[in-house]
Amino acid sequence: MLSFKERTGSWNSMMLSPMKTALIHARRKELSFRDGLENFGTPIIMTYLPLLILALLLSGNFEAIYLAALLFTIATTALAIVVVSLLFAALAFAAAGLLGGRAKFGRLYYMVSLAAAPTFVFTIVINIAILLIKSIMDALSLPAAAGVFQSIGDLVAISVTLYGFYLLTIAIDALYKFGRKKAVATWLVPALALIASGAALFATVLLGVLKFLIRTL
């Protein structure tokens, strides 16, 4: 089990030296499912909780229902991340098995979290920074500058996301040692499956809403 300092240090190492870090952590068989959960949970506490507390302080609304809404937001966000990460890891585990990979599910889950956690934190920090700068530019009546910073933020977010896929490839390959192409296939198949499932769910909900509106009009 990693301490908070070791955990955040591993994220920095993964961002700056992914190959070396992934190989080191792939050899540490004591790091497994629980550590993966903590890797996914820690960024939520580090980012969302301070932001929600700040929003509470700025609004000055300390009513019980408002506090309950904030706690509900944190809980549902954490639950959604855990559920999606588990679904992704389960599908990736199945895909890796079909490709000849052999490793325990908990080990894969940890390696996925090792790649995902720093990407998540860095993306949130960048988005917050851009949002603050954009707000300042808007307050100074500089909409053009605000638009430029927003575009820069979007490009950085896309770049970090793509780098995150690279980190995921490195992490999976370090664990299974079956080559980069198979490592890409291991995460690409689950990603496409989840995207397709999400699109199908959205279409189903949208169709249901349209049917309801048609009947009531």
Q: What is the pLDDT of residues 6-52, one digit of tens each?
A: 888 999 999 999 999 999 999 998 888 889 988 888 877 777 666 66
In the prediction, which pLDDT does 144 show?
75
Residue with tokens 């585990």: 93
pLDDT band of 217, cuts 50, 70, 90? low
Is pLDDT of 58 > 70?
no
CA–CA dist 15, 13 (Å, integer)? 5
Amino acid identity at 154: D
pLDDT at residue 131, rounded to an integer: 75
Domain with 60, as residue range(s), is 4-216
C-alpha span between 195 and 118 (Å, rounded): 22
Least confident of 10-19, 66-75, 177-186: 66-75
Report DSSP letters for 23-83, one per residue: HHHHH-TT--HHHHHHHHHHHHHHHHHHHHHHHHHHHT---HHHHHHHHHHHHHHHHHHHH
Is the Cβ–Cβ distance between 114 and 171 less than 8 Å?
Answer: yes
- Decide if 33 contacts 85 (C-beta within 8 A): no
What pTM was estimated for this model as a whole? 0.82
- For residue 112, pLDDT over 70 is answered with yes
The structural domain count of the chain equals 1
Q: What integer pLDDT is reported at residue 169 of this predicted model?
A: 96
